[in-house]
Amino acid sequence: MNALDLLDGCAAEQARPAADAQRPILRERGQREVFCGLTGIIWLHRKMQDAFFLVVGSRTCAHLLQSAAGVMIFAEPRFATAIMEERDLAGMVDAQDELDRVVNRLLERRPDIRTLFLVGSCPSEVIKLDLAKAAQRLGAVHMPRVRILNYSGSGIETTFTQGEDACLAALVPVMRALPADAPKELLIVGSLPDIVEDQFLRLFADLGIASVGVLPARNARDLPAVGPNTRYILAQPFLGDTAMALEGRGAKRIEALFPFGVEGTSDWLRAAAREFGVDPALTEQVIAPGRERARIALSKLRPQLEGKRITFLPDSQLEVPLARFLQNELGMELVEVGTPYLHRAHLARELESFGAQVRLSEGQHVERQLDRVRADRPDITVCGLGLANPLEMEGLTTKWAIELVFSPIHGFDQAADLAELFARPLRRRDLLEV
Amino acid sequence: MQLAVWTYEGPPHVGAMRVATAMEKLHYVLHAPQGDTYADLLFTMIERRGKRPPVTYTTFEARDLGKDTAQIFQDAAREAVTRFNPQAIIVGASCTAELIQDDPAGLAEAMGLPCPAIPLELPSYQRKENWGAAETFYQIVRTLADRSVTREPREGRPARANILGPTALGFRHRDDLVEIRKILVQLGVEVNLVAPLGATPEDIRNIGAADFNIVLYPEIADEAARWLERTFAQPCVRTVPIGVGATRSFIADVAELAGADPTPALGDTSSRMPWWSRSVDSTYLTGKRVFIFGDATHAVAAARIAREELGFEVCGLGCYAREFARDVRAEAARCGVEALITDDHLAVEDAIAAAAPELVLGTQMERHIAKRLGIPCAVISAPVHVQDFPARHSPQMGFEGANVIFDTWVHPLVMGLEEHLLTMFREDFEFSDEAGASHHAAHSPRRAPVADAVSEAPVEDIPAPAMAEEVGTLWTAEAERELKKIPFFVRGKARRNTENFAAAEGRRQIDLETLYDAKAHYAR
């Protein structure tokens, strides 16, 4: 069973009979202009500072990582590729022995590594190199100094942010177990910039929710515990497998909008507070200052975005909650919302506010989708860097999508920053006179 | 398996993309998994092209494996031909598709497409980007060149040349071409064809009509040029005109094959480099130790310029491509050093550290190594980042190229006069390592609090003079910590805005609330 089967199964099992169940979704297949899951390494390695990501793949994988990492050339980056060569494929050497050699060399060179992820790629998946077995074998040798885990970030199985999902899902089994009678705990799931994470932790502390864990933790060896009394809340919409793995450990999901904008953040915090029996009056009191700040800040950006028509091309699965935010709080008009994968259960509430005229598409046939963009001529198109400049050259204003994954955009105090990411290309378009 | 953090070259199919993207009316159907489209952004972002590369990817997924990937390939090829109506397509597989053995060549042939489909065999697990570009260009030329083309006698007509090698994502290929065309005009040589850059498959058919070929970038064009030598008896100019001396040799070689008079071209005085290099301020360049690394062509050319035209001492020379190592070894021997042939950037770093040069000339990778070691550096070769695809005219070749090279290499060095001053005032406190740069306002007086804020302050507030003294402690420790989480390059602005906001609001203390209230206030 591959990851995609799991995702489908997950969706089918949890989907509730939502208002949008009959909403038509344009499902297309064809060329997909998306990143593979390996790209997640770029932000995951910054978040988990004791972890190292070793991709087992081809020169293409190494080239992708360095292209995506751009100028982020560090003194000692915490990711690398074990590039498979002819002799690995021809069976002239045992690939597992080769992997042992590479891992041993790496761990000698980098004694500071405490968690090592062996990351599967398309080539390693296609030749069925058993990285799970390798992780187990190498883990036995290097524990307790280094914990060795594995997941797949291959393009054939994962799209962009799904790499984070696969990575976090690999962490779930090694989280410490809490007994059934342990006190109720809250778990925030999905990597957030440290500054945003701290804001949320402060708000939960003010709400009197005592025990709050974060996955991924800043230190991969310092994972939160999980048990039947754990209630988890997703901070990111692309965590289908991780959610399923947490359910498997007995944790229960708190259903909420994703914390973008005033509406999303309020709903997210209220849902958690409700689950933990916080007095609604206290909840309102705690969230009021942030709400008010976000409301003021957004009110200044609204005139720039109101009535503007926007299309999202599929990229990160953030498209649906972001579209909800832009429509409900800034008055933008949604033309097409494309997503690489639509998790119906996790996004059910998000979709409820979409008008019937919003075209929702899942998957991609990039040429046909670009034909639609050209016909629609939206004021702004959210797309990847492979498409952004070519569309600008055609006179269409774009917002490159990857920035939405790297910038702090969640929570009250980032709401205006998030809106500004969309307002800036429009303002620039009006500003330039050449 | 080879452990790699950074690679000098991409996989061979990226080389094929460079050829396809350089050409017009040619389309590349690439059997590749979802995700391999990342390579598009090399062209749209780094080279800043306003068009998508002409590549259709099949983007197969896990669920397609073992059933219909061959069908997916054929569908993609048919759609691409219908939509883009190319004069020819090239078909091939990326590393993963190579493993599933769908045979794009056979599949394309069986389809009876309305245009030629040129199959590419690019062994991803043995070869790399430049090899992929060379092989692709060679296959295109071999397949499309019309072998019945004959040249009319030379009498009474100008000589005709093909310029071979410029591609998409080539380091300064765009501007080098301008310089080469200038030289050919001076020599009265007509350009039959430039390829791959700007050529269509139809143009390639006529490649045999030229009297000779000019190979600008051997890494890409040499394979094709050798085939043309055999097939059409076209001789070839292989001198790479990077540097004043090399440009003069190039002019002489072209003039000889064209039967032209080289004097007007050689008499071109647009090169300021010889005089700049002779002027007294350059005396300080004498014997500067320089470490050179890049592709073989640029590394060898740089070594000659360094030695013969700038008076540097070459203390290290190497290249990342084994295919062209012989030229580098020969040049290294002339420099009295041992050539470093490796694609392992850690080995290059070690070699640079050991050689302790005063200047590093290399790729983007060496730029970072040099930055880390605190050594001045200039970029001479791919791989390069976006800043090395400049808007301004910046060739490396020809006489203007030599001017560009002089400026580029010398700028990172401390120039003569500055070096003299630094030595003279070395003991001066303003020149000590601890002193910040003079343009930083580190010692400027702290801004006084806004008068209004003080007058509006509540009665129990600290008196104005005391407040002025306590400006530094206005921030609570928590807010100060929060501020530090903001990236350094906007932190100063955030601090200033917050303080202004607090002053305007008459708040005595800046806590987290104030920090975020201010952020909301200043949101645009």
For residue range B189-235, what is the model confidence (pLDDT) as tens digits? 999 999 999 999 999 999 999 999 999 999 999 999 999 999 999 99
Annotated catalytic residue B281: yes
B522 band by pLDDT with thresholds 50, 70 and 90: confident
Mean of the pLDDT values across residues B450-465?
Answer: 40
Supply the DSSP symbol for B507. -
Kindly list the residues from chain B whose CB atom is less than 8 angstroms away from the CB atom of residue A91.
none
For residue range B275-323, what is the model confidence (pLDDT) as tens digits? 999 999 899 899 999 999 999 999 999 999 999 999 999 999 999 998 8
For residue range A34-65, what is the model confidence (pLDDT) as tens digits? 999 999 999 999 899 999 999 999 999 999 99
Per the CB < 8 A criterion, the answer to whether B244 and B399 are in contact is: yes
For residue range B343-352, what is the model confidence (pLDDT) as tens digits? 998 899 999 9
Report the share of chain B in percent with pLDDT over 70: 88
Half-sphere exposure (Cβ direction) of B178: Cα atoms closer than 13 Å: 11
**Of residues B197, B200, B132, the one with CA closest to residue B166:** B197
A vs B, Cβ pairs < 8 A, gives 223
Residues present in chain B in total:
524
Kindly list the residues from chain B whose CB atom is less than 8 angstroms away from the CB atom of residue A2.
62-63
For residue range A318-347, what is the model confidence (pLDDT) as tens digits? 999 999 999 999 999 999 999 999 999 999
Q: Which residues pair with A214 in a beta bridge?
A: A188
| pLDDT for A430 | 95
| pLDDT for A434 | 85
A355 band by pLDDT with thresholds 50, 70 and 90: confident
Q: Is the pLDDT of residue B441 over 80?
A: no
B488 band by pLDDT with thresholds 50, 70 and 90: low
A72 band by pLDDT with thresholds 50, 70 and 90: low
- Rounded to two decimals, the ipTM of the complex is 0.91
CA angle B247, B251, B254 (to 5 degrees): 130
Specify the amino acid at residue A194.
Answer: D
Is A123–B95 a contact, with Cβ atoms under 8 angstroms apart?
A: yes
| pLDDT for B372 | 84
Supply the DSSP symbol for B151. P
Q: Is the pLDDT of residue A71 over 80?
A: no
| Mutation for testing the B interface, residue in A60, A104, A241 having most B CBs under 10 Å | A60
Mean of the pLDDT values across residues B49-58?
Answer: 97
- Tell me the pTM: 0.89
| pLDDT for B416 | 59
For residue range A412-424, what is the model confidence (pLDDT) as tens digits? 999 999 999 999 9
In the three-class reduction of DSSP (H, G, I as helix; E, B as strand; rest coil), residue B223 is classed as helix
Q: What is the 3-state secondary structure (H, E, C) of chain A?
A: CCHHHHHHHHHHHHCCCCCCCCCCCEEEECCCCCCEHHHHHHHHHHHCCCEEEEEEECHHHHHHHHHHHCCCCCCCCCEEEEECCHHHHCCCCCHHHHHHHHHHHHHHHCCCCCEEEEEECHHHHHCCCCHHHHHHHHHHHHCCCCEEEEEECCCCCCECCHHHHHHHHHHHHHCCECCCCCCCEEEEECCCCHHHHHHHHHHHHHCCCCCEEEECCCCCCCCCCECCCEEEEECCCCCHHHHHHHHHCCCEECCCCCCCHHHHHHHHHHHHHHHCCCCHHHHHHHHHHHHHHHHHHHHHHHHHHCCCEEEECCCCCCHHHHHHHHHHHHCCEEEEEEECCCCHHHHHHHHHCCCCCCEEEEEECHHHHHHHHHHHCCCEEEECHHHHHHHHHCCCCEEECCHHHHCCCCCHHHHHHHHHHHHHHHHHHHHCCC
Specify the amino acid at residue A428.
Answer: R
Task: Compare B167 and B373 and report the one with higher pLDDT.
Answer: B167
Q: Is the pLDDT of residue B495 over 70?
A: yes
- Report how far residue A99's alpha carbon sits from residue B57's, in angstroms, rounded to the nearest whole number: 30
DSSP string, B44-76: IIIS--SS--SEEE--B-GGGTTTTHHHHHHHH
Report the share of chain B in percent with pLDDT over 90: 72
Kindly list the residues from chain A whose CB atom is less than 8 angstroms away from the CB atom of residue B100.
126
A288 inside 8 A of chain B by CB? no
Question: A70 to chain B: nearest residue by CA?
Answer: B385
Residues present in chain A in total:
434
| pLDDT for A20 | 52
| pLDDT for A10 | 39
Is B37–A82 a contact, with Cβ atoms under 8 angstroms apart?
A: no
Mean of the pLDDT values across residues B112-136?
Answer: 96
* Angstroms from A179 CA to nearest CA on chain B: 36
B100 inside 8 A of chain A by CB? yes
Pair of tokens at residue B238: 């292989």
Half-sphere exposure (Cβ direction) of A145: Cα atoms closer than 13 Å: 10
Half-sphere exposure (Cβ direction) of B61: Cα atoms closer than 13 Å: 20
Q: Is the pLDDT of residue A400 over 60?
A: yes
B155 band by pLDDT with thresholds 50, 70 and 90: confident
B472 band by pLDDT with thresholds 50, 70 and 90: low
Half-sphere exposure (Cβ direction) of A124: Cα atoms closer than 13 Å: 31
Integer-rounded Cα radius of gyration of chain B: 30
| pLDDT for B152 | 87
A 14-73 residues with CB below 8 A of B? 30-39, 56, 58-60, 62-64, 66-68, 70-71, 73
Is B48–A389 a contact, with Cβ atoms under 8 angstroms apart?
A: yes
